[in-house]
Amino acid sequence: MKKITVFLFTLCGLALINAQTHTHISAQPLSYPNIEGYVTLKADLHQHTVFSDGNVWPTIRVLEALRENLDLISLTEHLEYQPHSADIPHPDRNRSYELIKAMEEAQEHGLLIAHGSEITRSEPVGHSNAIFITDANQLIQDKPADAFAQAKKQNAFTFWNHPAWHAQSPQGIPILSDFQKERIKKGELHGIEVINSVDYAQEALALALEHNLTVMGTSDIHGLIDWDYTEKGNHRPITLIFAKEKSLSSAKEALFAGRTVAVYNDLLVGRETYLKPLLEASIEVTKAAYMPDTQVLEIELQNNSSSDLIFENQMEYTFYDSSPVFEIAAGTTKKLLVKTLEIKDKLNLKLKALGCFTAPKAQPVLEWEVKVE
Break the chain into its structural domains and give their ranges.
23-265, 282-371
**pLDDT (average), residues 113-128:** 95
Q: Which of 10-19, 105-114, 180-189, 280-289 has the lowest mean pLDDT?
A: 10-19
Average pLDDT score over residue span 6-16: 44
Average pLDDT, the chain: 92
pLDDT at 298 over 80: yes
Fold match flag (23-265 vs 282-371): no
What local confidence, expressed as pLDDT, does residue 258 receive? 98
| Superfamily of domain 23-265 in the CATH hierarchy | Metal-dependent hydrolases (3.20.20.140)
Distances 239 to 103, 141, 188, 298 between C-alpha atoms, Å: 23, 29, 20, 35
The pLDDT of 130-141, averaged and rounded, is 97
Q: How confident is the model at residue 171 (pLDDT cuts 50, 70, 90)?
A: confident
| Model confidence pLDDT, tens digit, residues 334-372 | 999 999 999 999 999 999 999 999 999 999 999 999 999
pTM, two decimals, is 0.92
* 11, pLDDT greater than 70: no
pLDDT category at 208 given cuts 50, 70, 90 is very high
Cβ-based neighbour number of residue 77 at 10 Å: 25
pLDDT band of residue 23 (cuts 50, 70, 90) is low
From 22-31, 39-48, 137-146, 241-250, the region with the lowest mean pLDDT: 22-31
May I ask the CATH class of domain 282-371? mainly beta
Q: Is the pLDDT of residue 131 over 80?
A: yes
Q: Estimate to the nearest angstrom the gap between the alpha carbon of 29 and the chain centroid.
A: 13
Res. 142: pLDDT tops 80: yes
